[in-house]
Amino acid sequence: MSATHTLALPDGEQIPYQLERRSRSTIGLKISASGLVVHAPKRVSQSMLENALRSKADWIRKKLLQIGDLLPAPMAWEDNATLHLLGNPVILRLSSSDRNRQPEFGLGMLHLRLVDVTDAGAVEKKVIQWYRKQALLDFARRLELLSARLGVALPKLYLSNAQSRWGSCNSKKEIRINWRLLQAPPHIINYVICHELAHLKEMNHSAKFWAIVESLCPEYRRIEKELRHLSPRLHQF
């Protein structure tokens, strides 16, 4: 007997899983390209089971990210590679120069002039620096507009580099947004910012919290699914 369930994590992430009840005494987890499969003893209640799964959430998330089939090929840092910016493709152009220069962006191209264009590590470093700079400008503007709409004081914004989280908010009212999100379409970035802003009012994932998210972002359920689907691609670099 197998059924699809959804594990809700404290940070709002939802992980779908297949549950198979078995005659066994322990809970077993299996992660494959098709996702998480849980083998559980017949007697374990659903809430006990989900508590056990939540305690292993970090491991589950890490494994899901690691599954090769979910991950696109690693980024090839070469001329004409395709990057993504706000959901749009951007072509990476590389050319040799007497010294490493600041990247130039325009007409759907990010142009890097480097001493050694075959140095993939140097290309990656320059691109990430550029993304982080743009991310801070872009997220700051969205945060300003959305915090005004919610009627809260503008929180402090930091970039994060987390592997499995898109945003976080702490009790000091500091908001962290993953710079990789700049690759995603604007409505997804807006949703993540709305989610963290809503935590300034409700530091939990209660119904009250989701009502605030919904007031700022009525389509948050659909967008969250979209983000989950997009996540492996956003971790390409």
Give residues in contact with Zn ion (CB under 5 A): 11-12
Give how far Cα 90 sits from Cα of 72, 86, 100, Å. Answer: 17, 10, 20
Q: Indicate left, alpha or beta for 192 from its phi (over 0: left) and psi (-120 to 50: alpha).
A: alpha
Least Å distance, CB 56 to Zn ion, is 19
Residue indicated by tokens 């409505």? 187
Length of the chain: 237
Shortest Cβ contact with Zn ion: which residue? 12
165 vs 233 by CB, closer to Zn ion:
165
Least Å distance, CB 86 to Zn ion, is 23
Least Å distance, CB 209 to Zn ion, is 7
Least Å distance, CB 12 to Zn ion, is 4
Q: Name 146's Cβ contacts closer than 8 Å, sequence gap at least 6.
A: 190, 193, 194, 197, 216
11 vs 20 by CB, closer to Zn ion:
11
123 vs 197 by CB, closer to Zn ion:
197
38 vs 177 by CB, closer to Zn ion:
177
